[in-house]
Amino acid sequence: RSLERDLAEAVALGQLELHYQPLVDLERDRIKGFEALVRWRHPERGLVSPAAFIPVAEETGLIVPLGAWVLQQACRDAADWPDGISVAVNVSPLQLRNRDFAGTVLGALAASGLAAGRLELEITESVLLDDTATSLETLHQLRRTGLRISMDDFGTGYSSISYLRRFPFDKIKIDRSFVRDAATSPDARAIMRAIIILGTSLGIATLVEGIETEEQLAIVRAEGCREMQGFLFSPPRPVAEIAAMLAGVP
């Protein structure tokens, strides 16, 4: 059987699960929220990475029902967490172009009882490459309900900076390649610094992704970034482990 045929049944068979990685507030040194990262528990192949099946889901259109499941499950999970803790969900361009997308998001919020202010949608700049009018209108409509929009993997695509003028992002997630190279490449560090300053000047929060070492954490702090995510703090963890991570968070 092909991965594609199996994937078509994965949602109905309950084979998808969400893992969560903390988004850490560097000023208060505590968890602000979690990014939902989907995994597929395949009966023969084991735990399949989204890097392997999200592209297949996008090519086949399965990303639309799969993405709806992710949104619903992430909102349900987050509704059990303390009020101040948000959840971030990755959204593919194809989902956003679907005319039912806003309804799917609002439906997931309503069904779970999660306040819109606790949901962040992560989009990549490729979302804004084509079909801009429809996708932008949907993003504006959703943002008016109180949820927040983050630009994911910032700095890896084209024309990133012009997009910051076309849509009022709430957060820029700086791609992990910058911090990976920051200790050895003054250029990578300078670009990371410039993005943080740019975000701060525009009133947009910045988060550096992919912090793996104390040295990288120190660099990110020194450059004035207030939020981070990475294996140093925690890899993505199964939902059952999240409550324990949150113990002590008011």
- Among 98-106, 157-165, 209-217, 231-239, which window interacts with Na ion (CB under 5 A)? 209-217
Residues 6+ apart with CB under 8 A from 219: 179, 182, 183, 189
- List C-alpha distances in Å: 82 to 88, 109, 143: 15, 16, 22
Among 120, 153, 223, 227, contact with Na ion (rule: CB under 5 A): 153
Q: Shortest Cβ distance from residue 5 to Na ion (Å)?
A: 29
- Among 63-71, 124-132, 148-156, 182-190, which window interacts with Mn ion (CB under 5 A)? 148-156
The Cα 233–Cα 31 span in angstroms is 10
Binding of residue 122 to Mn ion (CB under 5 A): yes
If you write DSSP's letter for every residue of 100-133 in order, what string do you get? THHHHHHHHHHHHT--GGGEEEEEEGGGGTSSHH
The Cα 208–Cα 131 span in angstroms is 28
Q: Shortest Cβ distance from residue 36 to Mn ion (Å)?
A: 9
- Among 24-32, 133-141, 191-199, 203-211, which window interacts with Na ion (CB under 5 A)? 203-211
Amino acid letter for position 85: I
Q: Shortest Cβ distance from residue 39 to ligand G (Å)?
A: 8
| Of residues 95 and 112, the one with the C-beta less far from Na ion | 95
What's the gap between Cα 134 and its chain centre?
21
Q: Shortest Cβ distance from residue 209 to Na ion (Å)?
A: 5
37 binds, among Mn ion, ligand G, Na ion, none (CB under 5 to 8 A by kind): ligand G
| Of residues 6 and 228, the one with the C-beta less far from Mn ion | 228
Q: Which H or E element spans position 85?
A: none
Residues that bind Mn ion (CB under 5 A): 90, 122, 152
